[in-house]
Amino acid sequence: MRTVANNVRGMFFVSLLGAMAGILAAQAETVTAEPDAFLEYVGATGTQYIDTGVNAETGLKARLDFAWDTSVTSGSDWSLLAAATADNSSDNRSRIFLCHYYGGGGKPFFGYGLKQRGNPAKSFVFAAGRRYEIVSDMSDTNSFELVQNGMKTFSTADRETYAANGNNVNLNLNLFVFACNYGGNPTWKSKGKLYELKIFKKTGEIAGTNTFDLIRHYLPCIKNGRAGLYDKVNGTISYSFTSGSDFVAGPVLDKPLDFVKWVWTNGKQWFDTLVWGKSGLKSEVDISVREYEGDHCILGTRRNNNRYYPAYSYEKRFRYAYGTMPKRENTNISVPTNDVSYYMDTRYLIKSDLRDGYQSVIVDKNGGAYVVELHKDDQAYLTGENVVTNTMALMACHQDNSYTFPSKGLIYATKIWDGDELLRDFVPVVATNAEGVAYAGLYDTVSERIFRQIGTAEFDLASQVGGVTNSLRTAVASPTTRIGYIDSDALLDYVDLGIIGKDGVEMETEMAWLYVPTDGAFVGARTNTQQDHGGNTGVRFYPYHYWKNAEAGSRHRLCYDGDLFVIGSQAATANTKYRIATRLDVDCGYASLSTFSNGAWGAPETRTILPENGYDSPVNTGLPLYLFAVNIDGVPRFPGKVRLYKLKLKEKQQDGSYALVRDLVPVFDPATGGAALWDKVTESYFRNGGKYQLAGGGAERPIAPGVIISIK
């Protein structure tokens, strides 16, 4: 199978401005610039650090994702995010220690104020080289949480006795990263890897809960070959403040190539969100569920008897479980039994707010909301820190060290908050790895990372990935390989032809039905006011359609306004090649059909299909024609399972003549790795609007190289 060329490394071109920024970066520690790429981490070897520009004072909170170096157990003091006033007597120092390692006791320190050396934990030693997440709050609550491998290891309750010593500390010193700002000097420099760092400043309180502004959001990056920390808040890159000693660059992260509508999990793909299931989280899951019987976790985690299911499906109902007992409520939404209809159209937004005092689940079905409140009766619920869970999985349950109850469905988007802090903002994407192999996953716009599925199978780009909604590639070369045909799947494939279905359209095509439909579209557009897109209301414009009807019989047809016209005298048969020409023109409409048999085309059956002057006015749907489906007010309906060999469209001009506006041939698609239609008129690609790839095959032959063109 062909793979997409590796555009991750090559799609960012260094401009003259970027080169100038690189020169400045060598002279200044913090510059305004956009990264060339993001990194998995930046490493410090004990000499590098940065100045955040954030004053060390009461009211700060930080979230850190990091790993100490393998020598962390050697007994040295290391600071990751800290500042302290300079005094030889430790009892006379004031500190803001958001993250510090106390080598003498082998324990993490956190805390602030006079005489505070940090409050070491009672019984915890950092493991060398292991990745941790810390949330350290100096906003007057002096709280601390540390997560190890997705498991909460210790928190505020695990510290030694703490006597508050001043709630309004102001050191007039900036916080340093990978060091402590000790009276203006970088001291206790760290060795390790930093994956992400957020710094918040308290702004006030609402109903007794602190509110914060995000003032720094550091992500590892590289610019002009130099590793640094990109601050998403201010759009700046900070390089090591130590002259001649740069950060160690971790692996370059894959970048999205195409944003797509959805990824479809078939029970073999799921994701670890790396968000610890605990009180205080909110989430939104935008999804279509495809499996109705039994238990299926959409978003959740479980450890022992502690369940945390913000979104769950059980026996045709959406449910949740929250706490040490399986509190399940029914949202009273029955899952439709029509699989195809549910798959294409039924979309749910599941909103869970599991903060103390806010517990609720809202399910929004196509604009209609169903609300379920969590009732605190005799059930045990998550409050404070009394429950230990795993990180939450999406489309499965992260249970102890395994993943259970997988779900099937389409993921459109997922968001997770801790309080009001957005932790994850997942959108479906297609990217390539370092070897140039294309894959689908979820892109977190917060951390700028692509989360790959961790199930038993990769996503199939031809069947499990939605159509492109936006592409980061600005140009793709014209095709070099023409193929024999395009196949549609009678489910989700469709192509927007970009030509309005209105009076004065002529179509010529060679095609075959792979499966003769009861009511299947080839090319069409239709306005409609009925919610189910059925009935005979609205304006129809079908250059070619097929319909089986008990009274009218099975025939090739087209439709103008509300009238159906038969093309030819025979019913279609599967895998038979047809040549069809139609013109929908109120003055001179016609249709002809030829059958390919025994290596030759038969004589066309030609007839006039529109009575001259038989309509009050020309038809205009105002909608672009879809190929392989009917465009009904922007929704692809009546899909057909079709093999397409070629397609031409002409439009009527003011002088009454017809001009060629589309000349589509099947080609290998260098962007998606599948097939596409190449328009020789506009020299542009027409791609699948329903899925990422179109299927194609048949004999291949070269196409003369064309110009570089923008992706349509």
φ and ψ of 24, to 5 deg: -65, -35
CA distances from 292 to 263, 276, 351, 397 (A): 19, 27, 20, 17
675 or 97, which is more confident: 675
Question: Which residues sit opposite 444 in a β-bridge?
Answer: 426, 449
Tell me yes or no: is domain 257-469 CATH 3.40.50.720: no
Q: Give the pair of three-digit tokens for residue 511.
A: 């095609």
When mean pLDDT is compared over 138-142, 426-430, 551-555, the highest value belongs to 426-430
Which candidate, 246, 212, 218, places its Cα nearest to that of 234?
218
Query: Would the pLDDT of 519 be above 90?
Result: no
Query: Would the pLDDT of 91 be above 70?
Result: no
- Topology alike, domains 32-249 and 481-709: yes
Query: Would the pLDDT of 48 be above 90?
Result: yes
Q: What is the mean pLDDT of residues 524-531?
A: 74
**Helix or strand or coil: residue 404?**
strand
Query: Would the pLDDT of 566 be above 50?
Result: yes
| Gap between the Cα atoms of 559 and 128, Å rounded | 72
| Gap between the Cα atoms of 535 and 528, Å rounded | 9
Residue boundaries of the structural domains of the chain: 32-249, 257-469, 481-709
- Find the helix or strand (DSSP H, E) in which 339 lies: helix 339-345
Query: What's the pLDDT at 383?
Result: 43
| Gap between the Cα atoms of 63 and 78, Å rounded | 18
Which distant-in-sequence residues (6+ apart) come within 8 Å of 206 by Cβ?
none
How many CB atoms lie under 10 A from the CB of residue 339? 12
DSSP string, 256-295: EEEEES-EEEESS--EEEEEE--TTEEEEEEEEE---SSE
* Residues 57-88: tens digit of each pLDDT: 888 889 999 988 877 766 678 899 999 888 87
CA distances from 309 to 376, 416, 503 (A): 16, 13, 54
- Find the helix or strand (DSSP H, E) in which 344 lies: helix 339-345
**What burial class does residue 401 get, using C-beta atoms within 10 Å of its C-beta: 0-12 exposed, 13-18 middle, 19+ buried?**
exposed
CATH for 481-709, among 1.10.3470, 1.10.1060, 3.40.50, 2.60.120? 2.60.120
Which candidate, 11, 106, 17, 111, places its Cα nearest to that of 68?
106
How many CB atoms lie under 10 A from the CB of residue 702? 9
Give the model's confidence band at 198: pLDDT under 50 very low, under 70 low, under 90 confident, else very high.
very high
Beta 295-303 vs 397-399: how paired, if at all? parallel
Query: What's the pLDDT at 417?
Result: 95
Query: What residue has token string 């790429």?
Result: 37
* Residues 1-15: tens digit of each pLDDT: 333 333 333 333 333
pLDDT above 70 coverage of the chain, percent: 77
Give the model's confidence band at 105: pLDDT under 50 very low, under 70 low, under 90 confident, else very high.
low
CB 222 within 8 A of CB 34: no
How many CB atoms lie under 10 A from the CB of residue 683? 11
Range of lowest pLDDT (175-184, 295-304, 623-632, 673-682): 295-304
CB 229 within 8 A of CB 218: yes
278 or 28, which is more confident: 278
Query: What's the pLDDT at 247?
Result: 97
Query: What's the pLDDT at 14?
Result: 32
HSE-CB for 163 with a 13 A CA cutoff: 2
| Gap between the Cα atoms of 288 and 343, Å rounded | 7
Q: Give the pair of three-digit tokens for residue 72.
A: 């962390």
* Residues 223-254: tens digit of each pLDDT: 999 999 999 999 999 999 999 899 999 999 99
Q: What is the mean pLDDT of the chain?
A: 81
Q: What is the mean pLDDT of residues 519-538?
A: 71
Domain range 32-249, CATH architecture: Sandwich (2.60)
| Gap between the Cα atoms of 309 and 363, Å rounded | 14
- Find the helix or strand (DSSP H, E) in which 61 lies: strand 60-68
47 or 613, which is more confident: 47
* Residues 19-35: tens digit of each pLDDT: 444 444 445 689 999 99
* Residues 292-339: tens digit of each pLDDT: 778 899 999 887 777 788 888 877 777 777 666 545 555 555 544 444
Q: Give the pair of three-digit tokens for residue 45.
A: 């070897």
Range of lowest pLDDT (153-157, 234-238, 269-273, 663-667): 153-157
Query: Would the pLDDT of 343 be above 60?
Result: no
**Helix or strand or coil: residue 340?**
helix
3 or 166, which is more confident: 166
Query: Would the pLDDT of 368 be above 60?
Result: yes
Which distant-in-sequence residues (6+ apart) come within 8 Å of 298 by Cβ?
285, 287, 289, 311, 312, 313, 350, 394, 395, 407, 409
531 or 640, which is more confident: 640
